[in-house]
Structures are given as structure tokens and as C-alpha cells.
Amino acid sequence: MFMRKSTSLLRLPFVRAKSALVTAVPSDPAAYVANKLAQFDAMQFTPIRESTVSREMTRRYMSEMIDYAETDVRLEMHFWCIVGAGSAGLSCAYELSKHPDVKVAIIEQNVAPGGGCWLGGQLMSSMVVRKPANEFLDELEVPYDDKGDYVVVKHAALFMSSVLRKALLAPNVKLFNAVAVEDLLVKQEDEGVAVRGVVTNWSLVTQNHDTQSCMDPQVMEAKVVVTATGHDGPMGASSAKRLESLGALPSGLPGMGALDMNTAEDAVVQMTSEVVPGLIFAGMEVAEARGCNRMGPTFGAMLLSGQKAANLAIQALRR
């Protein structure tokens, strides 16, 4: 919050922006810059005590941890947990946020959410999305060049920042980043094994289990867990690998098949499903668990897989 020493600074009119997506242009750029610099010279931050900052952060975070430990039946809230804040996980969170009677926790082991969707293929900028996934871009107000059968977003980061912003603005979504899902909460129920939550820890703790003594995790109970942990890797495909080790998935995960854009994108969306009761696979973890082809640098399947997973989750609750 800026506090001005002087209130007599010049207010300059803006030329009306042509579209909501274009930043307003100052009518007199030189005067605008001079005025802005004068404002910085005149400004001073409002005072604050250091302890206030500490208390503010701690109180809010701890109360959110308590709030998200389990479903609050009294408030008739239904709790979903999404593992992984990549393109699929965030698309899922945004779609779930449309339902005010659910609360959504996104668990992301990285400090920075977004997964592999800050760039296009081979670390280039633009993002190719095949139709009809452009409809999701329209909903998020992400501009693109229409090329007929596909569209191109000028930078993948534009999509990622948009879906991230929409998800975080929703009052029923909470992102716990720098928190890793170390394990699944698995229950033996009448119909067999079911997933009923996740086992979490600070990522820095997870990374240091081998160098420190035992550091126990936390548990978040959830009616439905969506797992979107991406490709196999040090953390990726973690739910699929855990279920395999428990014998809940056949041993020898197929892993993603060779690149074939035309079959892969449809297959990932079609195979986005509740593989084990309470656990829905989305994004590239679907390819790891089910063995469909990889699609390379086309991203439509990640967006639609996340959206489909959200609707499957809503349906699972009503069952």
C-alpha cells in the first residue's frame, strides 16, 4: 500500500484502451512518466511492526491447514485434493472452483506452481492448442492466433499465469506450494482398496529424509483426490508408482508410449478416469499409468483432461 506525502500530484487522463486485454495508454507519455516518478519520490510505506507480519502469515496459514485437514460436514463443504499444480491440475482446480459447495486444496511440491507449462516445445515460447481446447482459452480470456484446426498462444506463460490467477482468485481454492505428497491415504473398504486422502510434508523435509532422522508427515483427508503429477521423474507419476507398489495397479507401469499427436491427445482425455476408487488420474500421469502415446508440444489434452477430472470428481461425490 502506497502512502503519499503529498496529495496534490497531477492526475493524467488515459486514452481509452481498445480492448480489455490491452493496457491503457497515457495520452501524454512524457508527462505520465514525470508524474509517476514524482509519486515515487513523494511516497512512503505505511508503518508496520515486524511481529505483525509474522503473526499475519502464521495465523492465516495455520488456520488454512486446520480448515483443509478434512471435510467440514457441518458446512456441507466437500473437499477435493489435487496433487500437482501443472496445466492439468490447475485446469481441474479452476473447473472445480465453479462449485461453491466444494473446497479445493492444490498440493504442489515445487515453490513455483505451473509444472512444465511455462514454455512450449524445446524450451520455445509459444503454445500450440488443438481445437476444441481453444474454448477453454476463451473462457480464461487468453488471446491466441487462430490457425484453423489449431490456435497458438504467443507464450505458454500467458496461459499458465491466466489459469493460475483464475484458480487462486476463487474463494474455495487453496494452493499449498512447497508441500509434497509423500504417500496416499489408502483404506481397505468393502469394494476393495480406496484412496481417501494424501500424506503431506514440507518439500524441504521430503528431500531430506535420507540426511536427517525420521520426520513424520501430515495427513489431509479428502473425499476425492485428483492426481496430476505429470511425467515419471523424481516426483512425477508419484501416485501411479505408489499404487503399483501397493498392488492396486498391475506391476510394471506401462509408461507413456511413443509420440503420436493425433492418437495421444484424444487418448489422454478419454483415459482420464477414476482408476482406483477415490483417485482420478489427469494430465500426463494418465499416459504413465495407462500407456497411451505422448503428444509432444501440444497442450490441449492437459487442459481438457483437467476439466474432465473435475467433472468426474463431482460425479464421484454424488454416487
Ligand X SMILES: Cc1cc2nc3c(=O)[nH]c(=O)nc-3n(C[C@H](O)[C@H](O)[C@H](O)COP(=O)(O)OP(=O)(O)OC[C@H]3O[C@@H](n4cnc5c(N)ncnc54)[C@H](O)[C@@H]3O)c2cc1C
Residue 178 Cβ vs ligand X, minimum distance, rounded to whole Å: 10
Q: Which is nearer to ligand X, 9 or 205 (CB)?
A: 205
C-alpha cell at 144: 491466441
Measured CA to CA, the distance from residue 204 to residue 215 in angstroms comes to 11
Residue 119 Cβ vs ligand X, minimum distance, rounded to whole Å: 8
Q: Which is nearer to ligand X, 102 or 240 (CB)?
A: 240
CB 126 within 8 A of CB 153: yes
Residue 108 Cβ vs ligand X, minimum distance, rounded to whole Å: 5
Measured CA to CA, the distance from residue 108 to residue 318 in angstroms comes to 27
Residue 261 Cβ vs ligand X, minimum distance, rounded to whole Å: 9
Angle between the N-to-C axes of helices 300-318 and 261-270, in degrees from 0 to 180, rounded to the nearest 10: 20
132 forms bridges with which residues in the sheet? none
C-alpha cell at 216: 513424520
Q: Which is nearer to ligand X, 4 or 131 (CB)?
A: 131
Residue 286 Cβ vs ligand X, minimum distance, rounded to whole Å: 8
Q: Which is nearer to ligand X, 290 or 294 (CB)?
A: 294
Q: Which residues bind ligand X (CB under 6 A)?
A: 83-89, 107-110, 115-117, 180-181, 228-231, 235-236, 238, 283-285, 294-296, 299, 302
Q: Which residues contact 209 (CB under 8 A, 6 or more apart)?
A: 215
Residue 193 Cβ vs ligand X, minimum distance, rounded to whole Å: 19
Question: Where are the extended beta strands (E) located within 154-307?
Answer: 173-177, 179-189, 192-202, 218-221, 224-227, 257-259, 274-276, 279-281, 293-294
State the virtual CA torsion across 296, 87, 284, 96 in degrees, nearest 10.
-150
